[in-house]
């Protein structure tokens, strides 16, 4: 199963196309831009409490049969936060000093 490659940052709604080098995801594929992860979320996913990793780039060119962004297109469904900014800030503050592997 391929990653969804969600099209936007859930925090600031910045476009994050499939080849975005600044896209970050948690283990549940919650998607944010690097700026929001670093300056607003402090590497704490507001949805699950986990940390983030750079989102992989799906190949644009079919180098193996059936494996490329055209054969497995990214999601076009924009996702937005379900928590208030105040709640997210409090959540991040509670967890940011705990390393992701210990959360």
Q: How many domains does the chain have?
A: 1
With a pLDDT cut of 90, the percent of the chain lying above it is 98
- Contact in structure between 6 and 29 (CB atoms under 8 Å): yes
Give the structural domain span for 79. Answer: 23-95
Q: 24: part of which helix (H) or strand (E)?
A: strand 23-25
Residue 77 within any structural domain of the chain: yes
Helix (H, G, I), strand (E, B) or coil at 94: helix
Residue 36 within any structural domain of the chain: yes
- Residue 98 confidence (pLDDT) above 80: yes
- Contact in structure between 68 and 60 (CB atoms under 8 Å): yes
Residue 16 within any structural domain of the chain: no
Q: pTM of the predicted model, to two decimals?
A: 0.92
28/37 Cα distance (integer angstroms): 15
Residue 8 within any structural domain of the chain: no
List the structure tokens of 12: 């600031």
* Per-residue confidence (pLDDT) for residue 8, from 0 to 100: 98
């Amino acid at each position: 199963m391929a990653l969804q490659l969600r099209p936007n940052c859930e925090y600031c709604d910045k476009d994050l196309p499939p080849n975005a080098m600044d896209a970050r995801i948690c283990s549940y594929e919650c998607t944010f831009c690097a700026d929001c992860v670093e300056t607003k979320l402090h590497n704490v996913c507001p949805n699950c409490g986990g940390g983030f990793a750079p989102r992989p780039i799906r190949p644009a060119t079919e180098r193996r049969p059936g494996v490329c962004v055209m054969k497995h297109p990214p999601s076009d469904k924009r996702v937005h936060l379900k928590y208030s900014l105040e709640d997210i800030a409090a959540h991040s503050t509670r967890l940011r000093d705990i390393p992701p592997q210990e959360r």
